[in-house]
Structure 1
Amino acid sequence: MQEARRQRLAHHLQQENTDACILVPGPNLYYFTGLALHQSERLSLAILTKENQLLFLMPKLEVSKVEQVAHDALFSYTDEQGPGQALAEVQKKLGTLGRVGIEYGHMRVKEWKAVEQLGAQEFVEIEQTVDALRVIKDEQEIEAIRQAVRIVEDSFQAILPRVRAGVAELEVAAELEYEMRKRGSEGTPFDTIVASGYRGALPHGRASDKLIQSGELVVIDFGAIFHGYVADITRTVAVGELDAELANIYEVVRQAQQAAVEAVRPGVTAHEIDETARAIIRDSGYGEYFTHRLGHGIGLCGHEEPYMIQNNPLVLAPGMAFTIEPGIYLPNKGGVRIEDNVIVTEDGCLNLMNLPKELLSL
């Protein structure tokens, strides 16, 4: 699978007259090699040439992992040696380079300073090419996302009895993360959001020591990772009896979210999906309180292409995976967000999430 992906990338390099591209530890390296490595103080690079040769520069302690896929060349160094000599050997192996593609969004200055030493005549951004290859998910990727979705849904149901007045947001978040780990999650793609009452008006209200109170909405946004692939869900629940406005904004968001899900199909633009939900919220008088895009792609990253955002002309195609998550956020009062993960199919949309979206009162 990774070999076929590298062949497609090498073909794009040839078409773009680019001699090679350099990948750093992260989602793109995993996608093209299957290696799950993390950026650290030790320099790690993978170089794919337009001839589909794959070279690695790695610290010695990663050799046993990397040599399983390093069929062309592996240059390593010890902590005592440092990467200087190994980098010189890579440069000698590659020879004179013209254009080289790099990951502007993932490469740190540390890697950039090393890459400069390879002596390329020109460095270009490679991420648009990589994003275009990654945006269409294959069946194996979709199945991994589906399993991650199962983890988040089952974990959410498991912690509902713990969401009650007098419980701290941090406690709910900790219980969620524990339940996900028990079910096979490899971690969380972002800090778990549990935002109750007035804190629900913060779209990124990470869990705090605030105690949940009766009469509040609680926004719960969290994610799981399965075989590297992300599920990202938001549900908003009521603790006790709500006032009329909070109950109303919940229903507006629910209707907007459902309409957007039903609008997903091949040939529709990302802008149109966003506008479907946004128009309902705007016509209900809350347009100014929907302050973010409708959704983002999911896959090896929690946020990736495609983005459901105003004025994005991207045409949806089968295999695209993304979230649909409209929200309304009333300052100093509360907020609502509802989020599902969907896949574009040949004739419409597959919503991977099965949890009901009617307001749940605890």
Structure 2
Amino acid sequence: MFQNRREKLVSYMQQQQIDVAILVPGSNMSYFTGLQLKQSERLTLVAITANNQLYFLVPQVELTKVDTECANAIISYSDEEGPTQAIWQFKKELGASQTLGVEFDTMHVKEQKAIEHLTYNNLCDIGESIRELRMKKEHHEIALMRQAVQIAEESLEATLPTIRAGVSEMEVAAQLEYEMRRRGSEGTPFGTIVASGYRGALPHGRASMKKIETGELIVIDFGAIYKGYVADMTRTVALEEISPTLKTIYSIVKQANETAIEAIKPGMTAHDIDAIARGIIHAAGYGDNFTHRLGHGIGLSAHEEPYIMQRNQLVLKPGMAFTVEPGIYVQDVGGVRIEDNLIVTENGYKNLMTYPKELIIL
């Protein structure tokens, strides 16, 4: 699997006359090598050459995670030694290159400084080529995302009975994250959002110590991770009866979500899908209260290509995976967001989520 992915990357590199691609810890390194690490104070680099050779520079503490069978060379260093000597050895293994391809959007300054010790003439961004490769999900990737979705849905179902007046948003988030861990989630891809009442007007209203009150809507936006792959889910629920205004807002968002999803098929653009949902919300008089893009790609990252937003003329193709998450946010009143995870198919779409979208009143 990883070998096939690297072969595709090497094909891009040869077309663009890139001699070596340098990857840093994160989703791209995981995608091409299987090595799952986060960027830290310990320098880690992977080099993929235009003739498909693979070189690792890793701290000793992570050495056992490297697949030795696929590596042409593995250079390690201890905490006491530091990476300086290892960088020079890495340089010797790679030799001189005309052009290096690097991840401009994810590389830290420390990693950039390390790369400056290598021998090359030109530096270019290989990120766009990698993003294009990763946009089309493989069958097994979709299967892992489906499992992450199942974990998220089951965990929400288990958490809802614990929501009552006087419980804090933080307590709800803790319960939800506990339920996901119990079901196999490796963590959360972003800070869990539980935003009740007036705080629901904050699109990124991370869980706080605010107590939930009756008559409020509660926006719950959270994610699960299964074998590296992400599910990103939002549902908005009510604690007992809510006002007619809040019910109207909920119905508008639900219509925008469902109508945009029904339109998904190959050949549509990201702009087209966004415009459908945005048009419904605008026609209802809440256009200024929908303040973010309609969706974003999902996979090994919580946010990746494709971005479903205005003026993005990217044409949808089978295998693309993304969210559809329209929202309305009214200051001092509350907010609603409903989010599903979609896969573009040959003839339309597949919604990985099965959780109901009718308003749940607790």
Tell me whether the two structures share a fold, i.e. TM-score over 0.5.
yes
In 2, the alpha carbon distance for the partners of 1:132 and 1:244 equals 45
Does 2:182 correspond to 1:182? yes
- What's 2:286 paired with? 286
In 2, the alpha carbon distance for the partners of 1:63 and 1:243 equals 58
Unaligned runs of 5+ in 1: none
Does 2:307 correspond to 1:307? yes
- What's 1:68 paired with? 68
- What's 2:82 paired with? 82
In 2, the alpha carbon distance for the partners of 1:77 and 1:297 equals 36
Aligned-pair distance for 1:61?
2.0
- What's 1:263 paired with? 263
SS at 2:218 equivalent: strand
In 2, the alpha carbon distance for the partners of 1:157 and 1:59 equals 41
In 1, the alpha carbon distance for the partners of 2:324 and 2:164 equals 27
- What's 2:44 paired with? 44
Q: Which moved more, 1:213-222 or 1:52-61?
A: 52-61
Superposition pairs of residues 212-227 of structure 1, within 5 angstroms: 212-227=212-227
**TM-score normalised to structure 1 length:** 0.99
In 2, the alpha carbon distance for the partners of 1:120 and 1:254 equals 53
Indicate if the aligned counterparts of 2:329 and 2:336 stay in contact, CA closer than 8 A: yes
Indicate if the aligned counterparts of 1:237 and 1:360 stay in contact, CA closer than 8 A: yes
- What's 2:145 paired with? 145
Residues 272-330 of structure 1, C-alpha deviations (whole Å, 9 max, x = no match): 00001000000000000000000000000000000100010000000000000000000
Residues 53-85 of structure 1, C-alpha deviations (whole Å, 9 max, x = no match): 100111122222214354201111122221111
Aligned-pair distance for 1:37?
1.4
For 1:182, the aligned partner's letter is R
Q: Which moved more, 1:295-304 or 1:119-128?
A: 119-128
Segments ≥4 residues shifted beyond 6 Å: none
CA RMSD of aligned residues (A): 0.9
Superposition pairs of residues 129-278 of structure 1, within 5 angstroms: 129-278=129-278
Indicate if the aligned counterparts of 2:95 and 2:119 stay in contact, CA closer than 8 A: no
SS at 1:242 equivalent: coil
In 2, the alpha carbon distance for the partners of 1:200 and 1:120 equals 51
In 1, the alpha carbon distance for the partners of 2:82 and 2:180 equals 39
Indicate if the aligned counterparts of 1:56 and 1:70 stay in contact, CA closer than 8 A: no
- What's 1:20 paired with? 20
For 1:245, the aligned partner's letter is T
In 1, the alpha carbon distance for the partners of 2:220 and 2:67 equals 42
Name the % identity: 59
Residues 7-62 of structure 1, C-alpha deviations (whole Å, 9 max, x = no match): 11011101000111100111000000111112221111000011101001111222
SS at 1:257 equivalent: helix
Superposition pairs of residues 314-329 of structure 1, within 5 angstroms: 314-329=314-329
- What's 2:330 paired with? 330
**TM-score normalised to structure 2 length:** 0.99
C-alpha change, 1:321 and 1:67, in structure 2 (3 Å) is closer
In 2, the alpha carbon distance for the partners of 1:69 and 1:301 equals 27
For 2:343, the aligned partner's letter is I
For 1:320, the aligned partner's letter is M
In 1, the alpha carbon distance for the partners of 2:65 and 2:323 equals 33
Q: Which moved more, 1:238-247 or 1:202-211?
A: 238-247
SS at 2:190 equivalent: coil
Unaligned runs of 5+ in 2: none
In 2, the alpha carbon distance for the partners of 1:127 and 1:29 equals 12
Q: Which moved more, 1:109-118 or 1:78-87?
A: 78-87
SS at 1:301 equivalent: coil
Residues 246-278 of structure 1, C-alpha deviations (whole Å, 9 max, x = no match): 110000000000001101000100000000100
In 1, the alpha carbon distance for the partners of 2:303 and 2:69 equals 27
Q: Which moved more, 1:241-250 or 1:63-72?
A: 63-72
Q: Which moved more, 1:117-126 or 1:312-321?
A: 117-126
In 2, the alpha carbon distance for the partners of 1:222 and 1:78 equals 37
Does 2:100 correspond to 1:100? yes
In 1, the alpha carbon distance for the partners of 2:69 and 2:227 equals 18
For 1:239, the aligned partner's letter is L
For 1:73, the aligned partner's letter is A
SS at 2:225 equivalent: strand
Count of residue pairs the alignment pairs up: 362
SS at 1:170 equivalent: helix
Residues 78-130 of structure 1, C-alpha deviations (whole Å, 9 max, x = no match): 22221111111121222211111111121111111001110321111111000
Q: Which moved more, 1:265-274 or 1:33-42?
A: 33-42
